[in-house]
Amino acid sequence: VYVNITSKNVPGDAPKGSENWFVMINAPGNYGQDWQTLKMRARKQILRKLEKCLGRDIESRIVTEHILDPIGIENNTSSYRGALYGAASNSKFAAFLRHPNFSRRLENLYFCGGSVHPGGGIPLCLLSARIVSDLVPQPVLIKENA
């Protein structure tokens, strides 16, 4: 469970006297699961865990919430099956099976981000961007004599 409360450092990120909680958990891609049931079960477990860790009631303090599941992610971003980091990475070979940073079919088409080599998370996404930067041919500049 990842929790980020930016209003701790930037008070304007939430209404006065409130906080903005961003809570993220890992979820599988959409393969037709019953997301309503899974979301409610996960929500209950996450709240229980947070309340236990913090020693406070969290649920009664929630004013508004938005839950984004893989279906919503897919609809909003066109990410295949709503998977933020591409295909499941549950095997020891998964890292080697990620999509490459370039297209084998279309010249000069490159990819970077969490769903391609080397993988998810900010450091790896930035490394992915660096790989693509190195792959993209640099323009040749010709200085004309004036």
pLDDT values of the chain reduced to their tens digit, one per residue, 146 residues: 889 999 999 999 999 999 999 998 888 889 999 999 999 999 999 999 999 999 999 999 999 999 999 999 999 887 888 877 766 666 777 767 778 889 999 999 998 887 788 877 777 778 888 998 999 888 877 888 75
Give pTM, 2 decimals. 0.66
What the block records as the tokens of 51 is 């309340």
At 84-101, the pLDDT tens digits run 776 666 677 776 777 888
Burial class of residue 132 in the structure, from the number of CB atoms within 10 Å of its CB (0-12 exposed, 13-18 middle, 19+ buried): middle
Write down the domain spans for the chain: 1-82, 85-146
DSSP string, 1-37: -EEE-GGGT-GGGS-TT----EEE------SS--HHH
CA–CA dist 20, 37 (Å, integer): 25
